[in-house]
Structures are given as structure tokens and as C-alpha cells.
A and B are shown apart, each in its own frame.
Chain A
Amino acid sequence: MQPDDQGRFERWVTEHQPVVFRAAYLILRDRSGAEDVAQETFIRAFRSFERTDPGEAVRPWLYRIAVNTALNELRRRKREANAYLRAVGPDTTDPTAASETRSIVADAIDKLPDNLRVAVICRYFLDLSEQEMASVIGVRPGTVKSRLHLARKALAGNLEAVNS
């Protein structure tokens, strides 16, 4: 790698890694997991760095790696949690007890299914267009629209349930 390339990559890290970290945190809701995802995202990006075009839009590309990495981590955690539940039995603690002081909107977002939550995060936190979202999530633009619609509908339903 040439020194110029290394400087360019370090600028990527400085510029995009905080956003990647926060997006990963929104998906995983876990700080250490978000750190791992933020690091893994850029390690993977570095492996493909020499094949990238300097003029190409780097933001969607990095976000695609980050979202995929975070979703993989989320799936892995769910597998482990399921295995744990099968071994020791269901958790009897109230999942809403710890969220009393938090925004009801945040709780409603957390309660969304993963695919809808990721769509919401991509659209309203990462500010991706529907076309970019389709590329990042790996679905068709129509599916993106559908998921956003469902997400908004589910959020409204959740909020109504809380208010009532």
C-alpha cells in the first residue's frame, strides 16, 4: 500500500467510524458489540481497499459492510440466547422495567423486528436514500419502501398501545 492510500484510508476511519459505531450500537444496543462491529467493518474494508475506486461513493459501501456485520453479530447473539434459554429456561424478568425513564419512542423502536428496525436506522439515522438502502440492506427498492411503511405503522401501533 502506498503512503497516499494509507492516508486516505485513515481519513475514512476518522470520518466514518463514529457514525458506523453509533449505527452498530443502534442495531445491537450494546457498546462493546458496537466497538467490535466498527473495527471489523474497517478491517474488512481495508482488505478490499486496493480494489476500490477513489472516486466511488464510499459512504454506502462502508455502511453496507457495517450493517451486514452488525446483522451477522445480531444473529449470532440470538442463536446463543436461544441456546441459553433452551438450557436454563425462559427469563422471568420484566423487559420493560429498565426502560421506564427512556423515551417511549425509543422503546417503540427497540421493539420493532430487526429488519424493520434496520430500515428505520438506515433511513432516519444514516440518512440513506431508498436506492442506497436497497444496496446496503441487499433488497429491492420496493422492499425498502414496504419495510419503511411497515415500520412506521408498527411504531404508531406501539405508541398507541403505550398511550392507551
Chain B
Amino acid sequence: MNEADLRTTLALMAHEVDVPDDLGAVTMTLIRSAHRPSPRDRRLARRDARKLSPRGPRRWTYVAATGVAAVSLLTAGTLIAVRRPVPPHAHSAKIVAGAERGGGTQNTNDALSSSASSGSASGSNSISGPAVSSPVSVVGLNDLPQIVHTADIKVQVKDFERAWGHANDVAQNDGGYVTSSSTSESSDHTGSGTLTVRVPSGNLEQALHDLRALGTMTALTTSGNDVSAPIADLNARKKDAEAEEASLQNLLNNASSVSDVLDIKSRLNDTRNDIESIEGQLHGYQNQVDYATIHATVFDEAATPHKPLLGSGTLGRGIHTGGHLALAVIAGASVVLGGLLPVALLVLLGWFVVRKVRHRTR
């Protein structure tokens, strides 16, 4: 076979089919649709488009809008982070008033507090809330709220020695007792001391009044912890245990065999232990309800019990405030970023899906 025959045959074979008329056009269409411009080309195209429509927003407007949005979000997050809870003076007063009236239907929180600080005027105003005569002395006999009162008071005095002596007398004068006390003297011979006093809840107001009279009150915090629910629960458990004990006692009296006696006695012992444990807890609660706890700090006028590290001058306060603000901003940024994270993930996922779909379409 010569080469000419081969060429002829191959040409004939190749011409068994015609080249589609639109093959080139279809190919170019495919190429144009498949061709993605490079990032630089897209950037240049956007620039050209902006030039063609000068009335459209400029690039800096997008940047500015993004900046404003970021700052707004940051500010909102900061405000959320530094927002302080509403002082629950009113709630505390409600409970106390309800307790005085003998009503048990008021809304109560597990921990309620009222506070006053830095200023004798404001401190003396807020003291009237929780300082009431508590009617709670018998646990479980009525449905009154069972409140455990605590107070923290700081008093600045001129003569520490004399004031300290009077402070220790306050407990005895108001029917209470001192659980702990400590004093210290600084290098400049100024004294300060802390005192923990238990007084009957009904005498809390009087005790605080007596302590305040020692000098100038600089801080006062009072709180009431409602323990009605655990006390009611313990009372119910005690009642059940006592009923079981009576039942077991009855069974013991009618027991006919030694093994039954031993078994019932064992269970009686367990029940008795349960009852005693419950009574112990009830007694603890009752003591806490009956006696309010006061943590008192008495210090000389010249002494500074909690001297700020950076000083109390303008610069020190400024640095202190600045530090707090910086932390607040960081906290706010964390809030904003944390909130935006799911959105960012969704956007990323959407972008990924769109990219995949486009890729497959091509």
C-alpha cells in the first residue's frame, strides 16, 4: 500500500461526517462563558464602570459606611457589656413591707440586695429598706417569706480606739453577739478593724443605726436571701420521715420474729438519722433567719483601708477609668464579633455553594 492510498482513504474516512456549521461559534460561546476575568480585570472593569456612571457611590463611601457600621456595632456591644443591672431597692422594700404586713404572696428573689456607697447622705437614705423588724422566728409555722438578712457597713471614725470599743458593744446592746473581730494598725499609727456581728433580725436596723453613729458611714450594702423554698422542702421531708418512723415503730411492736425486729430496727435508725439531719438543717436555717449578720469595717479618718494602687488623684482616676473603658471596649468587641460569627459563617457557606453551583453550571 502506498502513501497516496493511505492519504486518500484517511481523507475519505474523515469526510464521512460534516463539520457542524456552528462548531466554532459554540466553542467561542463556551470559551466566553467559561472565561473568568482575573481579579485585576474585574477591578479595572469596576473602575471603568464607575467612570461611566459618576453619579454612583464612590469607593470611599463604601469604606465610610462599613466603618460607621463597625463603630455602631462596637458601641452597641460596649453598652451591652458595661450595662449595670437595675438596683433592686424597690424589690427589697416590697419584700420587707410584705413581711411586715404578714402577707406571703409577694414575689421574692433568692438573693436581693440594696446598696449605698461613698456618701453618707445617700447611704443613710437607703438603709431604711431592709432594716425592719423581721417577724420570722418560727420556721415553718406560717407561710411568711423566710429571709436571711446580711449587711456590710464601712464607717470612718475620728477616734478609732473609742469607736472600736463602742462597735463591740453594739452587739450586746442589740441582743446579739460578735462572731469575729480583728484590728490592725498601720505605720502611721492609724487603726482599722473588721467586725462580724450577729443580731436578731428585728434589731438589724437599730444595730446599723448604732454602728453608723460611730462616725461617717462610707458604704452600706444590705441583702436579703429568701430561703422559704428550702425550708418548706425540709419541713415536708421531715413530716414524711416522722410518719415513716411512726409506721416503723408500729411494725416493730407487732414484729413476730427476730429477723423482722432487726430489719425494722435498722430502718428505724436510718429514718431517725434522716430526721435529725433535717432538723439540723432546719435549725441552721432558723438561726440564719432569726439572726442577721453584719460585717462592719471601722477605720480611722487618716487610714485608707483600700488605697487605690494608682492613687486617688485626677491622673489615677483617669487611668483607672481608662482601663475600665478599654476592658469594656474589648468586651463589647467580643460581644459584636461573637454575634456576627454565625452570620459570617452563613455568608461563607452561601458563597461557597454559589461558587460550586456556578462551577458546575460552567
Contact = CB atoms under 8 A, between A and B. Distances in A.
A124 B6 contact: yes
A18 B19 CA distance: 6
Contacts of A156: 1
Contact of B10 (A26, A34, A152): A26
A155 interface: yes
A43 B28 CA distance: 8
B14 interface: yes
Interface residues of B, number: 25
A21 B23 CA distance: 9
A43 B27 contact: yes
Contact of A14 (B3, B24, B31, B35): B24
Contacts of B34: 43
A120 B14 contact: no
Interface stretch (A55-63, A64-72, A78-86, A101-109): A101-109
B85 interface: no
Contact of B27 (A17, A23, A103): A17
Q: Considering residues B12, B17, B27, which has the most beta carbons from chain A within 10 angstroms of its beta carbon?
A: B27
Contacts of B15: 22
A156 B27 CA distance: 39
A149 interface: no
B255 interface: no
Given A25-B14, A25-B17, A155-B1, A105 B9 contact: yes
Interface string B166-182: 00000000000000000
B1 A10 contact: no
B20 interface: yes
Q: Considering residues B5, B24, B30, which has the most beta carbons from chain A within 10 angstroms of its beta carbon?
A: B24
Interface of A: 1, 10, 13-14, 17-18, 21-23, 25-26, 31, 34-35, 38-39, 42-43, 46, 103, 105-106, 109, 120-121, 124-125, 152, 155-156, 159
A46 B35 contact: yes
Contacts of A121: 10
A43 to B, nearest CB: 6
Given A109-B9, A109-B10, 15 more contacts: A13-B28, A21-B19, A21-B23, A22-B19, A26-B10, A26-B14, A38-B27, A39-B27, A42-B27, A42-B31, A103-B12, A120-B10, A125-B10, A155-B1, A155-B6
A125 B24 contact: no
Contact of A39 (B16, B17, B30): B30
B11 interface: yes
Q: Considering residues A1, A39, A155, A159, which has the most beta carbons from chain B within 10 angstroms of its beta carbon?
A: A39
A124 B23 contact: no
